[in-house]
Amino acid sequence: MPYSALKYILWAALVVLLQLLIFRHLRFFGAEPDFVLVYLIWIMATKDRTTALYHSAAMAFMLDVILDHWGIHILAKVATVFLAYNFIPKITETKLLFTQVFFVILLVALFHNLIFLGVATFAQSRVDIIFWNFLIGNAFFTSIIGSFVYLFKSN
C-alpha cells in the first residue's frame, strides 16, 4: 500500500474517531457539529473529486455501521461530495477569508443535512422533532467549528 494512501486512511479513521468521541457530544440546544463533513469539505477543496468520493464513502460507512444508521450517512455524504465538489473554491488557487469559509461550509452543511433528513424520512424515521435543529442548528455549529479549524490551520 502506498504511503499516501495509508496516511489518508489513518487521517480518515482519526477524524471519524474525533467525531464519535468528542464532537458528537458537544451538543448545544440539541445541535451537534459534523466534523467529518468539515474534513470532507477540506478534502474537496484540496484534492480531486475521486479522492473526495472515496473519503466520503469510507468515512460515512464507518459512521453508518457504528451509529446504526445503515446507509443514511453514505447516501447523504456521497451525494453531497458529488454534487458540491465543483462549487467548492479550491484552497490551492486562492486564500479564503474567514467569512467565505463560514458561508461555504454553511451552504454545504445545509445541503448535506437536507439530503440526510430526506434519506432518514425515506428510511421510515420520523424527523419532525429534529428537523429545524438538525437542518439549521447542526449546519451553523458545523460551520463555526470548520471556520475556526481553518483559521487556526491557516495561521
Partner 1 sequence: MRFPFSQTKGIKDHILTSVFIFLGLIMLVSRHDEGLQNVRKASITVFSYLEEPLSNIRVYRTALKTNRQLHEQNIILLDELSRLRSAREQNIELKRLLDFKESSEHDVDILPVKVVGKNLTGINNFMSINVGSNDSVEVGMPVINPSGLVGRVVDVSANYAQVMPFLNPLFRVSSRIQETRAYGVVSWESQKLDELVMNYVPQTIPVEIGAIVETSGYSQKFPVNIPIGQVIRTAPDPGLQTQRIYLKPFVSLFEIAEASVMKYTGNPEVDSLRINFMERY
Among residues 92, 89, 78, 95, which one has the least CA distance to residue 40?
78
CB of 53 to partner 1, least distance (A): 5
Query: How far apart, in whole angstroms, are the C-alpha atoms of residue 55 and residue 57?
Result: 6
Eight-class DSSP state of 29: T
Nearer to partner 1, 56 or 147 (CB): 56
List the interface residues with partner 1, window 2-61 (CB under 8 A): 17, 20-21, 25, 32, 49-50, 53-54, 56-57, 60
86 counts as binding partner 1 under rule CB under 8 A: yes
If one counts every other C-beta atom within 10 angstroms of the C-beta of residue 127, the result is 15
Nearer to partner 1, 103 or 151 (CB): 103
| DSSP string for residues in 26-55 | --BTTB---HHHHHHHHHHHHS-HHHHHHH
Question: Which residues sit at the interface with partner 1, rule CB under 8 A?
Answer: 17, 20-21, 25, 32, 49-50, 53-54, 56-57, 60, 64-72, 74-75, 78-79, 82-83, 85-87, 89, 119-120, 122-130, 133-134
